[in-house]
Copies of this chain bind each other. A is one copy, B any other.
Amino acid sequence: MWKPNTETFLACDHPFEDAKVVLFGAPYDSTTSFRPGARFGPQIIRSESVGLETYSPYINMDLTECRVLDTGDLELRFGSPAPALDAVEAYAAAIAAQEKIPFMLGGEHSLTLGAIRALHKEYPNLAVLQLDAHTDLRQDYLGEPLSHACVMRRCWEIVGDGNIYQLGIRSGDKPEWEFAKEHTILHPFSLDKLYEWDDLCHQPVYLTVDLDVLDPSVFPGTGTPEPGGVSFDVLRQAMTRACMLFDIVGCDVMELSPHYDHSGISTAAACKIVREMLLALHD
């Protein structure tokens, strides 16, 4: 009774030893090129999760029966991205070393690089499955190679040709799209191809969700809203399938920037996607 206040994502206070998934927040957004604020994502996903049930009628599972621990937010300093990436890498590595799944709540998308670094060491044949509105394949952004607009290019340098699967993409500059043709597996505009990618069943997979893959009507609270995205149910079903079918060894849900959406529907969508992913990871 007389303890400091505890606040975790919906029911995610399973003891570490027995946990399968370890949630953590990564509040950093200093390289965001258009509208910053994704640093506030993890905290509000946690606090607003009380508006959500633990039970999913979609797949008839309940979060109270899952083994997830939410350990809170990393303390990341703003400014140069390198230290933030190192902190994420170290934390993800420590979780993976215990054979648990690190599940990061962003924060800006560049942080995915930290997690990929950690998991690639553990799983050298790692594949990356990216759902996103943007290619994120720039060589650099105004000279900064660690910008959120470059994260997948940096990941490609690690995992190599043919190991990045990109879905939902509908924006990027011309060189990025040309780069993708040669080096990644990119299917633009929809998530349909996910249902054909059986290859991904044979590799450990890092699943990264930039929530701006959703249509801005569903998810206005993000740094760079890109009209023409997918509906909530399309993303939800894709996440269920990916988490059930593939060998997910790490994942993240990024780019909720709640101050741009006073209605809270973006946060509600983020919370529900996280719940459905956590449940499916326990299937």
Given contacts A31-B78, A71-B5, A80-B80, is CB(A226)–CB(B268) below 8 Å?
Answer: yes
Chain B neighbourhood of A144, CB < 8 A: 77-80
A125 at the interface (CB under 8 A from B): no
C-alpha spacing A142/B79, complex, angstroms: 10
- When C-beta atoms are compared, the residue in chain B nearest to A224 turns out to be B51
Q: Select from chain B the residue with minimum beta-carbon distance to A262.
A: B262
Of the listed stretches A170-178, A199-207, A244-252, name the one at the interface; the rest are far from the partner chain: A170-178
Known: A142-B77, A215-B217, A268-B225. A4 touches B6 (CB 8 A): yes
Question: A220 contacts which chain B residues (CB < 8 A)?
Answer: 263-265
CB of B3 within 8 A of CB of A71, answer yes
Per the bound structure, the CA–CA distance linking A56 and B144 in Å amounts to 24
- Complex copy number for this chain: 6
A4-B6, A80-B81 are known contacts. Are A47 and B55 too (CB-CB below 8 A)? Answer: no
- Please state if A79 and B30 are interface contacts (CB–CB under 8 Å): yes
Query: Could you tell me the distance between the alpha carbons of A277 and B73 in the complex, rounded to whole angstroms?
Result: 28
A73 to B6, CA, bound (A): 10
Q: Which residues of B contact A3 (CB under 8 A)?
A: 16, 71
Cβ contacts A5-17/B at 8 Å (1 or 0 each)? 1111000110010
CB–CB B4/A70 < 8 A: yes
Is residue A41 contacting chain B, with contact meaning CB distance below 8 A? Answer: no
Q: How far is the CA of A188 from the CA of B59 in the complex (A)?
A: 12
The interface-forming segment of A116-124, A156-164, A228-236 is A228-236
B57 touches A172 (CB 8 A): yes
Q: Does A283 contact B (CB under 8 A)?
A: no
Mark interface residues in A54-90 (1 if CB within 8 Å of B CB, else 0).
Answer: 1101100010000001111101111111010000000
The smallest C-beta distance from A258 to any residue of chain B, in angstroms, reads 11
A1-B264 Cα distance, complex, nearest whole Å:
31
A75 CA to B50 CA in the complex, in Å?
12
Please give, as numbers and ranges, the residues of chain B lying within 8 Å of A238 by CB-CB distance.
Answer: none
Cα–Cα distance between A165 and B188 once the two chains are bound (Å) = 33
A32 at interface by CB-CB < 8 Å: yes
- Does A241 reach chain B (CB closer than 8 Å)? no
Output the least CB separation between A126 and chain B (Å): 24
Minimum Cβ distance to chain B for residue A23 (Å): 9
Q: Which residues of chain B are within 8 angstroms of A58 by Cβ–Cβ distance?
A: 170
A261 within 8 A of B: yes
A185 at the interface (CB under 8 A from B): no
A53 shortest CB reach to chain B, Å: 5
* Chain B residues with CB under 8 A of A76: 142
